[in-house]
Amino acid sequence: MTRRELYSLIEPDRFSRSWWLARIRGAAWVVLVTTFLWIWADVEFTDEMELSATVQLTTAPSSKLVLLSKSRVRVSFKVQGRQRSLEQLQQRLQSPDEVVKYVVSEGEEDLSVRDILNRDGMIVGAGLTVLSASPSNVRVRLDTKIYRPDIPVQFEYTGALGPEVHVDPPK
């Protein structure tokens, strides 16, 4: 046996420099193999799922725009990502109160449903990607609110009004 082979067979003294280097070398291999296993598992266990949701279109409260087209659209879409994230999204979307909200701005007429869904915080936060959607586009019609104080309007009402309604001047 050579001197080098003989030296590798001898256990170094505990807490010596060579002992620490041997332990760090072993730990580095463990970390490297574990990292590769996690990456492989993440890639291997991605899945696709067909889901459906309600997209609610709104305008910004501060804008003078009014939405004339339907504000709620039911869509189905194919989404890809980790299985656990897909299951969590599926459970959230089963709730009747859960909607995907999108604020329409001026100049938007034909919206891509896939883009709307890919911008949603619930989907992006889970690390999911929408692959396709049906319907693929939503047609939006907007109009502008115009305030004209010089047009007189008479409001005729009968019966009791709720406490939150204020009529000025009172009858």
pLDDT in tens, the chain (171 residues): 677 776 667 777 888 888 899 899 999 999 999 999 988 877 767 788 999 999 998 888 888 888 888 889 999 999 998 888 898 999 998 888 888 998 888 777 788 999 999 999 888 888 899 999 999 999 888 888 777 788 887 777 777 777 777 767 655
Six token digits for residue 70: 């339907």
Six token digits for residue 139: 């047609």
Give φ, ψ of 132 to 5 degrees: -150, 160
Cα separation, 5 vs 68, whole angstroms: 83
| Exposed / middle / buried, residue 73 (Cβ in 10 Å: 0-12, 13-18, 19+) | buried
In this structure, how many other beta carbons lie within 10 angstroms of the beta carbon of residue 131? Answer: 12
Amino acid in position 9: L
pLDDT digits (tens, 9 = 90+) for 51-68: 999 999 888 888 888 888
Task: Give pTM, 2 decimals.
Answer: 0.61
- Sign, Cα dihedral of 150, 59, 69, 138: positive
